[in-house]
Amino acid sequence: MKAYVFPGQGAQYAGMGKDLFEKFPAARALFEKADEILGFRITDYMFDGTDEDLRQTRVTQPAIFLHSVILSVILGDQFKPDMVAGHSLGEFSALVAAKALSFEDGLILVSKRAQAMQKACEKSPSAMAAIIGLTDEKAEEILKGIDDVVVAANYNCPGQLVISGSISGVHTACELIKAAGARRALPLNVGGAFHSPLMEPARTDLASAIEHTVFCEPVCPVYQNVTAKPATDPVLIKENLNKQLTAPVLWSQSVTRMVNDGAKTFYELGPGTVLQGLIRKIAPTVTIEDIVL
């Protein structure tokens, strides 16, 4: 069975998508439609912007979404997923690729998501950090003992957990986690505490937009971040998506479930190969194929 996965924030790079725009008329049409929907030329940022330009949340998220979804469109009949999943932002790309959401509605939701997250970050200065070389269970135990906002945000793969919360909470957690034997505790260059309770204002803003958006039954199961389980019911998909911004990304658990459900070959659709590296650590026996256009 074939599984397609879609990356999240952090996968962007300068010049992303320019080759697709120049080579494929279908890609050009969708990029131009995106410029129109967003009300600014995101193509200028993607094709000619600097790394710093692309780090703006309002640019980063739509840019990664566009790159991922356009790849699925260009593949045409080659894109026949038995299951899909996306890491954080990538879940929106997965939903559009699996036809649970239209391209237009998906892009509008991603843009609103980015703006809501940016606003929440400005309201509550906060941080994230990657913990390398400690079990999830040990890290969770340490986090529970901290009297500040800090939680597990991304279960990326065995031995790699991202934590999220207030600046002081993340700092304290990093010190305690290093003392407990973690190889590294690395502060991440992000705008704020994604997938933590501090994103509640953004979750509320986005929930209203999700509620007023039409979702359809996808062409295959979508393994969602919040549950790490397959979903095809549009009502359930919306419920899970509503919780995503304040809940942890259960990526390791999602990939494990996909493999247990029969996934043999994984394809990553989008900029970079971050998810390929994580999947190799989660499920070393599966096949990972590159996309050939």
160-166 vs 150-157, strand pairing mode: antiparallel
> Is 164 among the residues known to form the active site?
no
- C-beta neighbour count of 34 within 10 angstroms: 24
End-to-end CA distance of the chain: 20
- Measured over the CA atoms of residue 205, residue 206, residue 207 and residue 210, the dihedral's sign is positive
Contact 237, 34 (CB under 8 A): no
Give the SS3 label for residue 5.
strand
| DSSP classification of residue 162 | E
Contact 233, 257 (CB under 8 A): no
Residues whose CB falls within 8 Å of the CB of residue 238, separated by 6 or more in sequence, listed in order = 210, 211, 215
> Is 72 among the residues known to form the active site?
no
Catalytic residue among 68, 72, 88, 126: 88
Q: How far is CA 18 from CA 49, 70, 96, 279, in A?
A: 11, 12, 21, 27
Q: Say which amino acid occupies 76.
A: G
| DSSP classification of residue 73 | H
Catalytic residue among 166, 195, 196, 254: 195
Residues whose CB falls within 8 Å of the CB of residue 181, separated by 6 or more in sequence, listed in order = 133, 134, 138
Rounded to whole angstroms, how far apart are CA atoms 279 and 293?
Answer: 22
- Measured over the CA atoms of residue 219, residue 224, residue 230 and residue 233, the dihedral's sign is negative
Rounded to whole angstroms, how far apart are CA atoms 129 and 204?
Answer: 24
Instruction: List the catalytic residues.
Output: 88, 195
